[in-house]
Every structure is written in structure tokens, then in C-alpha cells.
């Protein structure tokens, strides 16, 4: 069973050669130059580092530092208050939303940027429950939530349920169709599972939710920017997502909210801040919601972070999401292949589906002492992350991760576990 050192060497050489060939043929390879990578810190451990944590914090796009400097020094420092008009600060939430729109299959005018994902989940779920309750004779008082969700969605769903008098029903996505019924108001689902990397069936589940007369709310944190998301085509009602993972907006950059155009006139926000008003500078004591997705706004937009995100989104210029998806699948396939070749049998087990249709852009490996193993990987320059209790998580950002990176990461994992 065991290979000789020569055979193992040959295998590594073959994999490295294959990686080089794949990189040479990669039509997206040039996009790496749009990011700050291969810095002194990346080389601190000797060999070049491999950043496979873009699904937690995307790398810095080259356009960002200069833009931020201009926003700080000129727009804020010199123009000051005039920048709300002259530098386009006031309209930034929808303008930047429209830049995200093509990445998630949305026509313009349906996305507003601002607040955190958690806050947007709250807006979306409460608004969904309110819209679901508008018509029909029987009360719709159940919120269904993905039981395997990233915790914040579950916590916020629980609060939304409590504050709207709903019952919260946590089930695994596969079991969602079975619990839908005439009392279902809204269903909150993740497009890609944050732990396992499993990709859920957005159009299919949305159709099932609609068949039950309820509204579908999707969390796109782990899919937008890594694979095609078809919000309009899938007839999704509401969606939220962060911008600091595959959209590279920076640490804690503002999240976004999608409200399908037809629903916008009925979108009744639980957080009707002044900037969502029909006449925000009218300073009227009575609230009157503005027209369009501006209803998803709350307070004063956070300009520094928002304009950093706007610059970050320039990396998508001329990039096809379809090509990104093809590369993403090739990267994760190759990673699994290399792990299989380098890591002794039985030490890790992929919990990420092998079927392409069920895979996002990450690979999650179950592993004993996973926290300790990840620490050793990071010491050797392979940056992934650990998710309790036993998951090594590797995210593959097709815009800047190459096949040689993948081969190296798997090789180092083999060395750590070998």
C-alpha cells in the first residue's frame, strides 16, 4: 500500500507540473494582479504564503488604498459637508448596490448597501412576515430557518419571530419543503453553508416556498462573488449578503439588501430610519417610506467603508461570473485530488459535496485536532480557518487563488498530518 519515497516524489512533481499547466491555461490568472498579495508578511515563513481565507476576509484590491485616501483627504478633509452632494456620498448605497447587482443576477434598482448582514436579515425577515400576512384568510405566523445556518441568522430570526408573534421552525434545508404550509410566512435560507460549503438549490427551494404562499429570504454571504446567483431568475423575494468575503470590501464592510422590484412598494421596514424617508431633508415628523429599494436604508450611510467597497468592486470589470464558477470548481476539484494524493488515508474527510451542483467555493475537511492542525498550517503560511469542533475550512477565491497555491496548500497539509 505505502509508496516509496521516489514514488511520492514523482507524484508531487507530477501534481506541481499539472498545477503549472492549469495556471498557464487559466484565463482569469491575470486578475491576481488586481490584488495586493505576496507581501513581505506572506513570505515571513520563508516560502510564499497561500491565502485560502478569502471566504472570511477577501484580500485587498489594489484600487482601494488610493480611493480611500482620496475619500479621507479630499472628500472629507477638504470638501467636508459638500461631499454629500459633490462626491456622491448621498447616493452611494444604491449606486454601489447596482454594482453588486450583476454579480447576483439582479437588474438595477433592487439592492441597497448598508448596515451589517445581521441587521439586514432582521429587516428582510420582518418585512417578509409583514408582506406574507397582508393577504389570505388564515394567519401566517411561522418562520422557517435553516437549522445549520451561520448562527447570526438563527439568532436574528428568533428575534424577528419573537417581535412579530411568529413561531420559529429550524430545519435542515433538505427538510424545508416538508414543513411548509399555509401558516408559513417566510423562510430564511443560506445559498452556501458556511461550514460544509454545500450549495443549496436556490431556484428549487424558492419555488417550493412560493408554492406554499410564503416569501423566500436568501443569505448570499458565501456565494456572491464565487458562483452565479440568479436572484431575478429564481424569483427570490429578499436577499442579504456581506461584502467582505468574495466581494473583497474590507473588514466589516457594509452588507447589502435585495428587495425584488415588485415587492418594494410593500416593503415595510422595522428600521425606518430618516434616510429611507420619501423626503429625508423635509425633516417631517410623520414617516413616509421612499420609493424603491431606498426603503431598505436606515441611518446615515457609512461613507468610508462604503466607498472602499465601491473601489473594491472595480476588480469585477470585465469578469464573467460563469468563468469564475468554472475556475472555482476546477480549484476545489484539484484541491480534493491533491489532498487525496498527499494526506495519508483516513486522516481527513471532506464534508463538502463532491457533486458540482452541490458545491460552493470552499472545501471543508473534518479532521482530528482541527484547531491545532490549522495553527500549524498558518505557521507554514497556509491560511485557512478552523470552525469548531472539527472542521478545517479552505476558501478558494477564483480571482486570486491559483492552482499552484492549491497544490502547495495540500502538500503542506500532508506534511503537517504526515
Active site residue 396: no
Choosing from 150, 246, 335, 394, the catalytic residue is 150
Active site residue 335: no
Active site residue 167: no
Contact 35, 64 (CB under 8 A): no
| Burial environment of residue 76 by CB neighbours within 10 A (0 to 12, 13 to 18, 19 or more) | middle
CB of 283 to its own copies, least distance (A): 5
322/369 with CB nearer its own copies? 369
108/118 with CB nearer its own copies? 118
CB of 50 to its own copies, least distance (A): 12
40/355 with CB nearer its own copies? 40
Choosing from 393, 394, 396, 403, the catalytic residue is 393
Contact 253, 92 (CB under 8 A): no
The CA distances from residue 271 to 22, 126, 281, 287, 299, in Å, are: 49, 10, 18, 11, 9
96/212 with CB nearer its own copies? 96
Choosing from 26, 153, 193, 219, the catalytic residue is 219
Choosing from 34, 140, 245, 359, the catalytic residue is 245
158/232 with CB nearer its own copies? 158
By three-state DSSP, how is residue 293 classified? Answer: helix
Q: Which residues contact 290 (CB under 8 A, 6 or more apart)?
A: 276, 277, 278, 280, 297
Choosing from 51, 194, 244, 403, the catalytic residue is 244
Q: Which residues contact 202 (CB under 8 A, 6 or more apart)?
A: 189, 191, 218, 229, 230, 234, 236
Q: Which residues contact 34 (CB under 8 A, 6 or more apart)?
A: 61, 62, 63, 314, 315, 399, 400
d(CA 31, CA 376): 29
CB of 273 to its own copies, least distance (A): 4
58/105 with CB nearer its own copies? 58
Closest listed residue to residue 350, CA positions, set 332, 363, 362, 361: 363
CB of 300 to its own copies, least distance (A): 5
d(CA 309, CA 254): 8
Active site residue 150: yes
Cell for 80? 467636508
Phi-psi region of 196 (alpha: psi -120 to 50; beta: other; left: phi over 0): alpha
53/407 with CB nearer its own copies? 53
CB of 20 to its own copies, least distance (A): 25
Q: How far apart are the first and last CA of the chain?
A: 15
Active site residue 219: yes
Cell for 364? 471543508
CB of 183 to its own copies, least distance (A): 20
The CA distances from residue 187 to 18, 160, 177, in Å, are: 44, 12, 10
Give, to the nearest 10 degrees, the angle between helix 92-100 and helix 303-312. Answer: 30
Give 169's strand partners.
144
Per-residue DSSP letter, 179: H
CB of 80 to its own copies, least distance (A): 6
Question: Hey, which residues are catalytic here?
Answer: 150, 219, 244-245, 393
Amino acid at each position: 500500500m505505502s509508496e516509496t519515497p521516489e514514488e511520492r516524489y514523482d507524484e508531487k512533481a507530477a501534481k506541481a507540473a499539472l498545477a503549472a499547466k492549469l495556471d498557464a491555461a487559466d484565463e482569469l490568472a491575470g486578475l491576481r494582479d488586481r490584488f495586493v498579495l505576496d507581501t513581505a508578511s506572506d513570505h515571513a515563513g520563508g516560502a510564499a504564503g497561500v491565502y485560502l481565507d478569502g471566504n472570511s476576509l477577501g484580500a485587498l484590491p489594489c484600487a482601494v488604498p488610493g480611493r480611500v485616501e482620496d475619500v479621507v483627504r479630499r472628500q472629507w478633509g477638504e470638501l467636508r459637508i459638500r461631499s454629500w452632494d459633490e462626491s456622491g456620498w448621498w447616493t452611494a448605497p444604491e449606486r454601489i448596490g447596482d454594482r453588486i447587482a450583476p454579480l447576483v443576477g439582479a437588474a438595477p434598482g433592487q439592492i441597497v448597501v448598508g448596515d451589517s448582514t445581521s441587521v439586514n436579515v432582521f429587516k428582510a425577515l420582518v418585512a417578509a412576515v409583514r408582506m406574507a400576512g397582508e393577504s389570505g384568510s388564515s394567519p401566517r405566523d411561522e418562520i422557517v430557518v435553516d437549522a445549520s445556518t451561520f448562527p447570526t441568522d438563527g439568532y436574528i430570526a428568533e428575534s424577528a419571530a419573537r417581535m412579530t408573534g411568529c413561531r420559529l421552525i429550524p430545519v435542515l434545508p433538505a427538510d424545508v419543503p416538508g414543513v411548509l404550509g399555509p401558516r408559513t410566512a417566510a423562510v430564511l435560507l443560506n445559498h452556501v453553508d458556511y461550514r460544509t460549503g454545500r450549495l443549496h438549490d436556490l431556484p428549487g427551494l424558492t419555488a417550493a416556498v412560493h408554492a406554499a404562499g410564503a416569501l423566500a429570504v436568501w443569505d448570499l454571504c458565501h456565494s456572491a462573488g464565487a458562483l452565479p446567483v440568479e436572484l431575478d431568475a429564481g424569483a427570490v423575494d429578499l436577499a442579504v449578503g456581506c461584502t467582505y468575503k468574495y466581494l473583497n470590501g474590507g473588514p466589516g464592510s457594509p452588507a447589502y439588501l435585495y428587495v425584488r422590484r415588485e415587492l418594494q412598494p410593500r416593503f415595510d421596514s422595522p428600521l425606518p430610519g430618516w434616510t429611507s424617508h420619501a423626503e429625508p431633508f423635509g425633516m417631517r415628523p410623520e414617516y413616509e417610506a421612499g420609493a424603491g429599494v431606498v426603503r431598505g436604508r436606515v441611518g446615515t450611510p457609512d461613507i468610508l467603508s462604503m466607498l472602499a467597497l465601491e473601489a473594491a468592486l472595480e476588480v469585477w470589470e470585465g469578469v464573467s461570473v460563469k468563468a469564475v464558477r468554472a475556475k472555482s470548481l476546477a480549484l476545489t476539484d484539484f484541491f480534493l485530488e491533491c489532498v487525496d494524493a498527499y494526506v495519508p488515508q483516513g486522516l481527513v474527510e471532506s464534508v463538502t459535496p463532491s457533486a458540482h451542483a452541490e458545491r460552493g467555493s470552499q472545501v471543508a475537511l473534518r479532521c482530528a485536532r482541527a484547531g491545532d492542525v490549522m495553527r500549524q498550517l498558518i505557521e507554514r503560511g497556509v491560511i485557512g480557518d478552523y470552525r469548531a469542533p472539527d472542521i478545517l475550512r479552505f476558501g478558494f477565491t477564483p480571482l486570486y487563488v491559483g492552482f499552484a497555491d492549491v497544490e502547495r496548500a495540500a502538500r503542506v497539509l500532508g506534511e503537517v498530518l504526515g
